[in-house]
Amino acid sequence: MESKNIELITKMVIDAINQSEEKGNGFMVPIGVSARHVHLTQEHVETLFGPGYQLTKKKDLMGGQFASNETVTIIGLKLRAIENVRVLGPVRSATQVEVSATDAIKLGMNVPVRMSGDIAGSAPIAIVGPKGAIYLKEGCIVAMRHIHMSPKDAQAAGVKNGDIVSVKADNERGTIFNHVAIRVDDSFTLEMHIDTDEANAAKIATGNTVTIIK
């Protein structure tokens, strides 16, 4: 009898631990919802806004980035357009447009899911500014969901740069996001970035938290 009681108690403890883990007692990460936006080279800034033009800061973002006051219009292959798309600074070595899957449908385009910066073979798109326009043969992506972390946060979470994890949103929609990339850099503030489609489907807003469930 005593042996059976020990087995029963052990099972109850293990079940309680498993249930606790399932409820999200892991590493908590705040959410940042990312709307469609554009990164530009300095050459393209000047094509779109005029010779010698410099982006002007509207709001600071993590890692030295900022939302600029400048906006552009993006146009897909079927001449469908989305206006007032925010330009992020500072300028980059390659121009890139990040949209949601819904945006891609509106533009009439097949846009691949990629990590930021991985634009080889991605979708073509045109960008129109107040002083000119550019056409990109590649450069439009749907951003892969990812978590920005400092090295200290990565160590605490038990992950490293390039890892792929799953996270759980413990709200009324009870969503689990798979294929979440870990990005680690000294300049990063802890935050998971999802686009507006993902946020709306899971009923998540900027500032909500999710839990890593590796």
Asked if residue 3 belongs to a domain, the reply is: no
pLDDT bracket for residue 214 (50, 70, 90): confident
Strands 191-195 and 28-34: parallel
- Across the range 128-147, mean pLDDT stands at 98
- Residues 64 and 138 reside in one and the same domain: yes
Predicted pLDDT at 14 = 55
Predicted pLDDT at 22 = 42
- Residues 179 and 103 reside in one and the same domain: no
Predicted pLDDT at 62 = 84
Domain-terminating residue out of 143, 178, 195:
143
User: CA-to-CA distance for 193 and 82, rounded, in angstroms?
Assistant: 22
- Residues 56 and 120 reside in one and the same domain: yes
- Residues 183 and 119 reside in one and the same domain: no
Asked if residue 207 belongs to a domain, the reply is: yes
**Domain of 206: which CATH number?**
2.40.40.20
Residue 152 has pLDDT above 70, yes or no: yes
Sign of the C-alpha dihedral, residues 190, 31, 144, 94? negative
Asked if residue 14 belongs to a domain, the reply is: no
Asked if residue 17 belongs to a domain, the reply is: no
- Residues 137 and 156 reside in one and the same domain: no
Residue 141 has pLDDT above 70, yes or no: yes
